[in-house]
Amino acid sequence: MRPDILINNISLFQMGWLRESIDFPTPQSQSETVVVPGRNSPIRFTEALGSVSFQPRAFTIVLSMLGTRNDFNNRVTEIINQFAGRLVQVICSEEPTLYCIGTIEASPVYDPISNKGQLTLSCTDGDAYRYHVDETIVQVSGTKTVTLTNDFMPVVPTITTTDEATLTWRIGTDSFSKTVSAGTWEIPELQLAYGNNSVKVTSTGTTTFRYREGRL
Query: Do 146 and 128 reside in the same domain of the chain?
Result: no
Report the pLDDT value the prediction gives residue 39, as an integer from 0 to 100.
77
The dihedral over CA atoms of 135, 140, 141, 144, expressed in degrees to the nearest 10, equals -170
Report the pLDDT value the prediction gives residue 53, as an integer from 0 to 100.
83
Supply the CATH number for residue 171's domain: 2.60.120.260
Report the pLDDT value the prediction gives residue 4, as an integer from 0 to 100.
96
pLDDT tens-place values along the chain, 216 residues long? 789 999 999 999 999 999 999 998 888 887 777 777 877 777 766 665 567 888 899 999 999 999 999 999 999 999 999 999 999 999 999 999 999 999 999 999 999 999 999 999 999 999 999 999 999 999 999 999 999 999 999 999 999 999 999 999 998 889 999 999 999 999 999 999 999 999 999 999 999 999 999 999
Which domain, by its residues, includes 176? 136-215
Q: Which one of 71, 97, 132 terminates a domain?
A: 132
Query: Do 122 and 184 reside in the same domain of the chain?
Result: no
Query: Do 128 and 63 reside in the same domain of the chain?
Result: yes
Report the pLDDT value the prediction gives residue 172, as an integer from 0 to 100.
85
Q: CB of 57 within 8 A of CB of 123?
A: yes
Report the pLDDT value the prediction gives residue 28, as an integer from 0 to 100.
86
Query: Do 108 and 52 reside in the same domain of the chain?
Result: yes
Query: Do 144 and 69 reside in the same domain of the chain?
Result: no
Report the pLDDT value the prediction gives residue 151, as an integer from 0 to 100.
98
DSSP lists the bridge partners of residue 104 as 123
Q: CB of 84 within 8 A of CB of 61?
A: no
Q: Which one of 84, 106, 132 terminates a domain?
A: 132
Query: Do 127 and 149 reside in the same domain of the chain?
Result: no
Query: Do 107 and 197 reside in the same domain of the chain?
Result: no
Query: Do 100 and 178 reside in the same domain of the chain?
Result: no
Query: Do 118 and 11 reside in the same domain of the chain?
Result: yes
Q: Which one of 115, 132, 149 terminates a domain?
A: 132
Q: CB of 162 within 8 A of CB of 182?
A: yes
Number of folded domains that form the chain: 2
pTM of the full predicted structure? 0.88
Q: Reduce the secondary structure of the chain to three states and give it as a string.
A: CCCCEEECCEECCCCCCEEEEEECCCCCECCCEECCCCCCCCEECCCCCCCCCECCEEEEEEEEEECCHHHHHHHHHHHHHHHCCCEEEEEECCCCCEEEEEEEEEEEEEECCCCEEEEEEEEEEECCCEEECCCEEEEEECCEEEEEEECCCCECCEEEECCCEEEEEEECCEEEEEEECCEEEECCCCCECCEEEEEEEEECCEEEEEECCEEC
